[in-house]
Amino acid sequence: MVDFATIIGGVALFTVVVMLLVSLILVARARLVSSGDVQIEINGDPERTLTVPAGGKLLNTLADAGIFLSSACGGGGTCAQCKCQIVDGGGSMLPTEEGHFTRGQRRDNWRLSCQVAVKQDMKIEVAPEFFGVKQWETTVLSNDNVATFIKELVLEIPAGESVDFRAGGYVQLEVPPHEVRYADYEIDEQYRGDWEHFGLFKKVSKVNDTTIRAYSMANYPEEKGVIKFNIRIATPPPGTDFPPGKMSSYVFGLKPGDKVKVFGPYGEFFAKDTDAEMVFIGGGAGMAPMRSHIFDQLRRLNSKRKISFWYGARSLREMFYEDDYNTLAAENDNFDWHVALSDPQPEDNWTGM
C-alpha cells in the first residue's frame, strides 16, 4: 500500500535540498563573480581613470574604452604582446602567464592583460604609445597575387583619417567568424598550376570566433590614405589534416569594396637615426617591412647611408616590386639590391645566386 505521507515527505525533503544547493550556488556566485562597476586608474592619471563594468578581461575592457593594447593572438595568451603592469587589484598571476615573464618582471607586476579578470578597482601602467592607437573600418581597394602564395592587400582608410606610423610598424586586422572555400579564390592564371598541384582548391577554412592577427605594413609613411600588406596564405603541410590559417584564408578571399577592421599602429622594429650602413635581408612575405624601411630611408629621409637589400625567392615568378627597387637603385648611388633563388626555373635564365 502506497504511503502518501512518505512520498510527500520525500518530495518536500528533495525540494529543500535543491533550494539549499541553489542558495549556495547564488552565494558563491556573488562572492566569486564580480558585478557592478569598478574603477581602473591608468598611469596614475586621474583624467585617465575608467569606470567600467566588472567581469570582463582587462584587454577587452580597455579596448571598449578606446585603449587598444597589441594582441596578435586575439587574447589567447600566446603572443604575450598585451603586457602591462598591474600595480593593484590584479590578483595572482595565472599559470598561462608565468612562462612569458622573468622573475624580475613578475616582481614588477607585469601581467598579460588578456588573462586578467576585472573584478575590483585596479591601478595599471601601460606604455604611452598605446594611447595613440586607433581603430578604423577600412575598405579593400585591391587584393592581387604578387607571387604564388602571396597577395598584396591594399586597404583604404576613411577620408580625413591618417595612420601615424613609423616604417617597420604593424597593425592588427580583425575579422568575424566565417567559412571560406578556397575554390572561390581569384588566383591569377600563372599561379593556378601550383594551387592545383597541391590540391589547395579543395581546402575549406571554417572559423567560429572573431580572429585577430598582426601584419607588418609594406607602405611607408609618405604613402598616405592606404595601408598595404604582403600576406602569405598559411596552408597546412601536405598529407596532414591540420586546418589552414584562419586570417590568411579570409584575407585571400577579400574583394574590392569589402570592409576590414584595423587597429594600430604598433611596433618596435624601427631604424636608428645614425649614419651606419644598413643591410636588409628578407624573403617571401617578409618583403613588407623591408619595403617600408627602404622607401622611408630613400624617399622620405633622403638618406645617404649605404643601404643594401638581399631578398630570397624560389624563382623569378615569385619576385615582386622589382621595378620599384630598380628605380630606387637608379636614383640612389648608395643603394643596391640582390636576389637569391632557391629553385630557379629554366625560363629564368638565372646565372646569379
What is the CATH classification number for the domain harbouring 196? 2.40.30.10
- The per-residue pLDDT for 26 is 60
* pLDDT at residue 3, as a whole number: 62
Of the candidates 193, 215, 200, 70, which has an alpha carbon nearest to the alpha carbon of residue 130? 70
Cell of 63: 579596448
Residues 299 and 331 in one domain: yes
DSSP code at position 257: T
Domain that holds residue 163: 132-266
Question: Which of these three, 266, 299, 331, is where a domain ends?
Answer: 266
Considering the domain architecture, whether residues 139 and 232 belong to the same structural domain is answered as yes
Alpha-carbon torsion angle 59, 61, 63, 67, nearest 10: -90
Indicate whether 29 belongs to any domain.
Answer: no
The pLDDT value given to residue 11: 65
Same domain, 291 and 254: no
- In whole angstroms, what is the distance from residue 227 CA to residue 216 CA? 10
Which pLDDT value is given to residue 132?
Answer: 87
**Grid cell of 325 as nine digits:** 627597387
For residue 107 the three cell numbers come to 616582481
pLDDT at 4: 62
pLDDT of residue 29: 53
pLDDT attached to residue 2: 52
Q: Please check whether residue 60 lies inside any domain of the structure.
A: yes
Q: Are residues 185 and 230 in the same domain?
A: yes
Together in a domain, 300 and 317: yes
pLDDT value, residue 140: 98
Residue 265 DSSP label: E
The sign of the torsion formed by the CA atoms of 274, 277, 279, 280 equals positive
Q: CA Rg, the chain, in Å?
A: 27
Domain count, the chain: 3
Contacts of 124 (CB under 8 A, 6+ apart): 40, 41, 42, 43, 58, 84, 85, 86, 87, 90
Query: What integer pLDDT is reported at residue 12 of this predicted model?
Result: 67
Q: Residues 78, 55: one domain?
A: yes
Residues 48, 131: Cα–Cα separation, whole Å: 10
Q: Chunked in runs of 10, what are the mean pLDDT values of the chain (353 residues)?
A: 63 72 61 72 91 92 90 84 92 92 94 94 92 94 97 96 93 94 95 94 93 94 96 89 93 97 92 95 95 97 96 94 96 96 89 71
The pLDDT of residue 47: 87
Residue 5 has a pLDDT of: 67
